[in-house]
Amino acid sequence: MLACAMGAAKAADLPGKFEGVTIDAKLIGGQQYEKLYERIGEWEKATGAKVNILSKKNHFELDKEIKSDIATGGLTWCVGSNHSSFAPQYPDIYADLFGLIPSEEVAKFVLAVIDASTLDGKLVMLPRAQFDVSALYFQKSLYQDEAKKTEFKAKYGYDLAPPDTWAQVSDQAEFFAAPPNFYGTQFAGKEEAINGRFYEMLVAEGGEYLDNDGRPAFNSDAGVRALEWFVKLYKDKAVPPGTTNYLWDDLGQGFASGSIAVNLDWPGWASFFNDPKSSKVAGNVGVKVQPAGSSGKRTGWSGHHGFSVTESCADKEAAASLVWWLTNEDSQKLESAAGPLPTRSAVWDFNIKAAEGDAYKTEVLQAFQEAAKHAFPVPQTAEWIEISNAVYPELQAAILGDKTSKEALDAAAEKATGILEDAGKL
């Protein structure tokens, strides 16, 4: 099918020639995403085309902008950043890349990631080297301090070691915290970020977000336990007071500042944390598989980033060429060198071999390979982001002490149910 698809480029023809074409793009911005965009100039030189970046924002803001474009008929751009959590909301606006990217190129990606990028038979985005599942970063020196080991054992009754359960994270965060200059841990406290963290903690506590009938089920005993983990940390001042306004860049900068003991975070920060130019904890960073909840299951909220071509694009072949360029083997080697996980099989093999002799890189790869074994996606419903937007203020209300956890979750479940009913899902 791919070989015969009209407009599908031949691998030998990539990146192609598109003299005089300008591709308007809307891209995700942020520290861990920027390095890749340096390759756009190379693509322009190779193809004769130009790229006009209309906006560069975090994906929460980008999502709002895309929805505004759809509502106002302003979807005139060609290439956009996409994400597996956001893509189900608007599959109709994106072209099928199975008809634009050679089959032999698609086959070079990890099959599971291609499957997750395919909606109703359409490949709506090509994955970049940004497969996301979180592992635990920690300051190694804290666990090597003999006085702290003795004090911790006396207080909590077990040996101080990098945590393997979320109950241990809670104990250690409380133990290490010395506000206002040092905190035990932190979390992103708004938008889909806090809903996603709550979701994975819920799963680790043995709960489910939506039941088998697609009905909200997170206002359960497991849900209360999951939310109370966040509530207790905030109440005990084991996290920064501004954490309910944090997003991912805030967390990365926070851990790099040296003021956080342990930090659940994405692979894209690995290099940044260990670089003395950007991080005060460089040389003192340990990484291990994410902890487990009371059910024995580890957290593992996962997803991946990619690039899409809009159906309204006048130059789909040129746009697809750019998307291929930003996700090809050289691009994935460049991007994953800083820590993000690749989505091309050959780049995984390349990175493992390249890490030989580098203890930190090897530790990072091993930790995230193990973390990936426990990865799970968000509930596969187009209303996930809309539900997140309704749920997260309720989670914040509980964390800030304005509601009990049960009150907040009941209110959130009622809102989520209304959204699904309005969408005809219930």
The dihedral built from the CA positions of residue 335, 18, 74 and 311, taken in this order, carries a sign that is negative
138 has a pLDDT exceeding 90:
yes
pLDDT band at 65 (very low <50, low <70, confident <90, very high): very high
Tell me the average pLDDT across 356-364.
Answer: 93
Tell me the average pLDDT across 233-239.
Answer: 98
Percent of the chain with pLDDT over 70: 97
Tell me the average pLDDT across 392-397.
Answer: 98
pLDDT band at 12 (very low <50, low <70, confident <90, very high): low
5 has a pLDDT exceeding 60:
no
- Residue 267 burial by Cβ neighbours in a 10 Å radius (0-12, 13-18, 19+): buried
7 has a pLDDT exceeding 80:
no
Percent of the chain with pLDDT over 90: 85
Tell me the average pLDDT across 13-18.
Answer: 93
- Please name the residue ranges forming H helices in 206-315: 221-235, 248-256, 270-273
pLDDT of residue 10: 55
64 contacts 72 by C-beta, under 8 angstroms: no
pLDDT in tens, 35-53: 999 999 999 999 999 999 9
- Round the average pLDDT of the chain to a whole number and report it: 94
CA distances to 67, 267, 297, 367 from 370, rounded to whole Å, are 36, 12, 13, 5
Tell me the average pLDDT across 263-273.
Answer: 94
SS3 label, residue 122 = strand
pLDDT of residue 1: 39
6 has a pLDDT exceeding 60:
no
pTM exceeding the 0.95 threshold for the entire prediction: no
Tell me the average pLDDT across 152-160.
Answer: 98
87 has a pLDDT exceeding 50:
yes
pLDDT in tens, 290-326: 999 999 999 999 889 999 999 999 999 999 999 999 9
Alpha-carbon distance of 65 to 62, in angstroms, equals 5
pLDDT of residue 182: 98
